[in-house]
Amino acid sequence: MKSVISTITLLMLSVLCLAQNPIVTTAYTPDPAPFAHDGTLYMFTGHDEDDATYFKMKDWMLYSTEDMANWTYLGTPISTATFKWAFQGDRAWASQAVEHDGKWYWYVCLTEAATRADALAVAVADDPQGPYVDAIGGPLATGWSFIDPTVFIDDDGSAYLFWGNKGCWYGKLGKDMVSFENGYQEVPGFHDPACFGPESMKMNWAKGKEEMMVGYEEGPWVSKRGDIYYMTYPAGGVPEHMAYSTAPSVDGPWTYRGRIMDEAENAFTIHGGEVEYKGRNYMFYHNGALPNGGGFHRSACVEEFTYNEDGTIPFIPFTKSGPEPVGTLNPYERVEAETMASSWGVKTDRLAGKDHYVTKIDNGDWIKVREVEFGAASPEHMTIEVLNYKASGLVEFYLDSLGGNPFASFNVTADQVITMELLRPVTGRHDVYILFRGGDGQMFDFDWWKVN
């Protein structure tokens, strides 16, 4: 019963209340891939299953933020079932998505059912939330270690796909974004330590033996700043750290520049990528820091950094606090329940489409929302909506911590939209905690809230 909280659980709760890394606490979200578009920062992620004892991944998830404090779950738009030719129910590995000429292209890696070869695929949609369809009805490319695709769009609109584990390949995409203009090739100079870091003994699974290989491991991420092309990547074997190389052209030659992140907490991989958003630079990665986390239960994290004057990337330390907020949340507009900075106990649905909610709600579970701006005059009422009712319970709203008295409380007895007067005035900017109280077992799902 969750109302009985141990000392260890209280310590976990205190850490989660204060921490912003990992940035999603309702699911394990490995391999974060950020993309900024029209004032919103999207994060496309994988999904480690809760019961995984190895890499067990069935679908890909989508989140967004406008304030770098709260992240909104936007659904699970694609899964292995999107690709009928792929091995089903597992192996939905790292991905990246971009918008180009009004379409959204989501590049993923999975396994071809017929050959069991690693395969790259692409799904396309008119909206980041989908619906997505298999763009070509088959793999874009297949081969041993053909995983971890990253897509890069150059200043002239030309698009390139890079990928590979213990090898790195790339090709220029056609204008349709779902084919290669002139095939693909290994990145020039890949086997030169001057390009991708010092050599070490690594297992070459394709040959079934250990051999000397360059520092690059997998998960390339290509970007450009000014006239410099950057490739960041997990390096050094297992456990991985983050390193990078630069080049004067997308075709190279690449020059190794060094380590920029250490090995991730409680995880032997560190897959991520870099993005500029609202004039600031962010590096995404994953670790295993959530409760029950580890190498097969990884979670997206983010750090802000500033390029050095010469264009090099500085060493980026890990933090629990994450980046500073770049905006506030408006509670006078509908706030989706799945918008949060952290949480305890709850889950989000695993649905495609645009309607989502918080589920798996038990007694003692909570949600935290940061930087909520109530303004100078207090609202008088608050409204919430609950659905999929199973048992009665309370939804209570607190300011800045879970202690003291709530400023709003709702008694839930059915699927309903409830409006109540606030129990006391609320002004200014606060963190808001939403606490669920009830008996044993799950109570209901939570859809949205707002003040009036």
Q: Rounded distance, CA 231 to CA 184, Å?
A: 17
**Structurally, how many domains does the chain consist of?**
2
Residues 95 and 239 in one domain: yes
The boundaries of the domain holding residue 372 are 335-451
Beta strands in 190-340 (DSSP E): 200-204, 209-213, 221-225, 228-235, 241-247, 255-261, 273-277, 280-287, 299-305, 335-336, 339-340
pLDDT over threshold 70, residue 437: yes
**Prediction pTM value:** 0.95
Write down the mean pLDDT value for the chain.
95
Same structural domain, 236 and 341: no
Q: What is the CATH number of the domain that holds 422?
A: 2.60.120.260
Residue 7, pLDDT > 60, answer: no
277 near 41, Cβ under 8 Å?
yes
pLDDT higher than 60, residue 13: no
Report the Cα–Cα distance between both ends of the chain, in Å, rounded: 35
pLDDT, tens digit (0-9, with 9 covering 90-100), for 142-196 = 999 999 999 999 999 999 999 999 999 999 999 999 999 999 999 999 999 999 9
Nearest to 365 by CA among 334, 340, 336: 340
Residue 262 has pLDDT above 90, yes or no: yes
Percent of the chain with pLDDT over 90: 91
Mean predicted confidence (pLDDT) in 376-382: 97
268 shares its domain with 356: no
Q: What is the pLDDT of residues 217-233, one digit of tens each?
A: 999 999 999 999 999 99
Let me know: does 172 contact 222? Beta carbons within 8 Å.
no
Stretch 112-116: mean pLDDT: 95
Q: Are residues 54 and 121 in the same domain?
A: yes
Q: How far is CA 364 from CA 38, 101, 149, 309, in A?
A: 38, 46, 40, 49
Same domain, 132 and 276: yes
Q: Is residue 10 part of a domain?
A: no
